[in-house]
Amino acid sequence: MGFQVGARCCSAGELDEEGVRSVTDIPSGQPRVLIVEDEIELADLLEFNLRRQGYAVSIAHDGLEACRLIGSERPELILLDLLLPLLDGWEICRMVRSHHDEVIARVPIIMLSALGTAEDRIRGYDLGADLYLPKPYSIKEVLLKVRALIDQRRERLRLEQGMRSLQVLATRKDHWQLAMFHELRNQLTVISLMAEQLSQDAKDQRPAEMAGYAGQIVDNSQYLSTLAENYLFVRRAEGEALALPQEEVVLVKLLDEVLSLFRSVAEQRGCALKLNCPTDVTLSLHPAGVKIIVSTLLDNALKYSPDAAPVTLSAEQEQERVLIRVHNGGAKIPAAERGQIFQRFYRGSQARSQEPGSGLGLYMAKTLAHSMGGDLVLEDEVGAGTCFLLTLPLA
């Protein structure tokens, strides 16, 4: 019954009013201390001395009130008496240490009790107390221990936050590596096709076509060079914890540059590439990231469209965001697979049967969209075909 009472008083619902904080949240301002003590004079004495030292203080005179304040006040340290009405300190300590919210579960606890035997102290430490001070205790000692435990807690949270930042950077690097390698493969495939066609045209002595394919190879090669330079900059920026560089770009120009990389492939497949985009939309973003996303979507659209089916790249501005759509005339993605297509290494039944691939393209595209403050989703379309929607902020 004690655990159920504690669960009700220190409920997740009460915590949700402020939002569940991660274990790396570092408190700022006055450290908050909760005094759980049924002796009013002793509680007032502790409060007076703690406030003189600059602490914010809350007081609970029974176990149930303590549970409520632990949930609502989220103290940085608890001074806990053991012989309390309604719910004793042993049970409060046990419930705190088993709490589902790790921030609460790891809050420092100093037990202050008239129970001073070795068995009592061992029981207290076994339940998770950080310190056990039998009564009568020195107020000065209590203040020193409070300061030391709060300082240790904040330092631990700073270290955890630093480790989390390093993990985020490492994950971001992995994402960019995968995206770059995926785009590298796409562009090398296009260059290979152009080179084969160039070789065939040389045999057939068609100089005009040869010049066109040679120009396409140059364009794609320059795009790969730009990607490599951007990738190196991104790695350097991530290592220094810098934001990705943003540029003011004209959207129609950026999209036309990406579309031009696929025109020769589309011609070979008999697919018409269409671009519908207003000419006055400008936005601030990392252009290489957008090019990788749109390139991935166009590559997929051409792979899975039937011959002669059009592929449309369109864009529009909606309030403070830009909507970019890539639509093809291929078969719809089965309903059972729609929720999985953005998962890492997932390849749908249509993809497995038609084209080789790694299952990373859409995963990487969505990841990059998120890194730029946007999103990538599969739209519900009426009629034939598949449509992906990329949403990006204007700034």
**117/179 same-domain check:** no
Mean pLDDT of the chain: 78
**Residue pLDDT, tens place only, 269-286:** 788 889 999 999 998 888
Predicted confidence at residue 335, as pLDDT, reads 78
Question: Amino acid identity, residue 26?
Answer: I
Lowest mean pLDDT among 222-226, 268-272, 309-313: 222-226
- Quickly count: other Cβ atoms within 10 Å of residue 114's Cβ: 12
Lowest mean pLDDT among 87-91, 134-138, 332-336: 332-336
Predicted confidence at residue 233, as pLDDT, reads 46
Reduce the DSSP state of residue 284 to 3 states and report it: strand
How far is it, in rounded angstroms, from Cα 289 to Cα 9? 48
**234/104 same-domain check:** no
Q: Is residue 272 part of a domain?
A: yes
Residues 315, 277 contacting (CB under 8 angstroms): yes
| pTM beyond 0.75, yes or no | no
How far is it, in rounded angstroms, from Cα 43 to Cα 81? 10
**132/176 same-domain check:** no
Residues 388, 369 contacting (CB under 8 angstroms): no
Q: How many CA atoms lie within 13 A of 52 on its CB side?
A: 9
What is the dihedral sign for C-alpha 135, 138, 139, 144? negative
Predicted confidence at residue 190, as pLDDT, reads 67
Dihedral of CA atoms 171, 172, 173, 177 in degrees, nearest 10, equals 100
Q: How many CA atoms lie within 13 A of 313 on its CB side?
A: 28
**132/169 same-domain check:** no
Reduce the DSSP state of residue 59 to 3 states and report it: strand
Checking if the pLDDT of 356 tops 60, the result is: no
**238/116 same-domain check:** no
**110/237 same-domain check:** no
**60/122 same-domain check:** yes
Q: Is residue 144 part of a domain?
A: no
Average pLDDT of the residues in 169-195: 65
Asked whether the bond before 31 is cis by omega within 30 degrees of 0, the reply is no
Lowest mean pLDDT among 11-20, 33-42, 252-261: 11-20
Give strand pairing partners of 134: 113
Output the domain CATH number for residue 85: 3.40.50.2300
Predicted confidence at residue 238, as pLDDT, reads 45
| Nearest to 72, CA basis, from 86, 60, 62, 84 | 60
How far is it, in rounded angstroms, from Cα 130 to Cα 145? 10
Reduce the DSSP state of residue 314 to 3 states and report it: strand
How far is it, in rounded angstroms, from Cα 250 to Cα 241? 28
**86/199 same-domain check:** no
What is the DSSP code (8-state) at residue 380? -
Predicted confidence at residue 94, as pLDDT, reads 94
How far is it, in rounded angstroms, from Cα 128 to Cα 294? 54
Question: Amino acid identity, residue 12?
Answer: A
Residues 284, 248 contacting (CB under 8 angstroms): yes
Q: Is residue 148 part of a domain?
A: no
Q: Is residue 160 part of a domain?
A: no
**190/129 same-domain check:** no
How far is it, in rounded angstroms, from Cα 91 to Cα 210? 83
Q: Is residue 133 part of a domain?
A: yes
Q: How far is residue 309 from each of residues 96, 252, 357, measured CA to CA in Å?
A: 63, 23, 22
Output the domain CATH number for residue 308: 3.30.565.10
Q: Is residue 153 part of a domain?
A: no
Question: Long-range pairs for 97-103 at CB < 8 Å and ≥24 separation?
Answer: 97/127, 97/128, 98/3, 99/10, 100/12, 101/12, 101/15, 101/20, 102/23, 103/21, 103/22, 103/23, 103/25, 103/74
Residues 38, 81 contacting (CB under 8 angstroms): yes
Q: Is residue 284 part of a domain?
A: yes
Higher-pLDDT residue of 207 and 155 is 155
Lowest mean pLDDT among 8-12, 144-148, 204-208, 295-299: 8-12
Q: Is residue 219 part of a domain?
A: yes
Domain count, the chain: 2
**95/181 same-domain check:** no
Last residue of a domain, one of 121, 137, 153: 137
Calculate the CA 181 to chain-centre distance.
22
* Residue 70's pLDDT band (cuts 50, 70, 90): very high
**201/86 same-domain check:** no
SS3 content of the chain, % helix, strand, coil (to 5): 55, 15, 30
Dihedral of CA atoms 291, 257, 195, 293 in degrees, nearest 10, equals 20
- Structural domain including 357 reads 165-393
**170/94 same-domain check:** no
The helix-helix angle for 207-239 and 287-303 (nearest 10°) equals 130
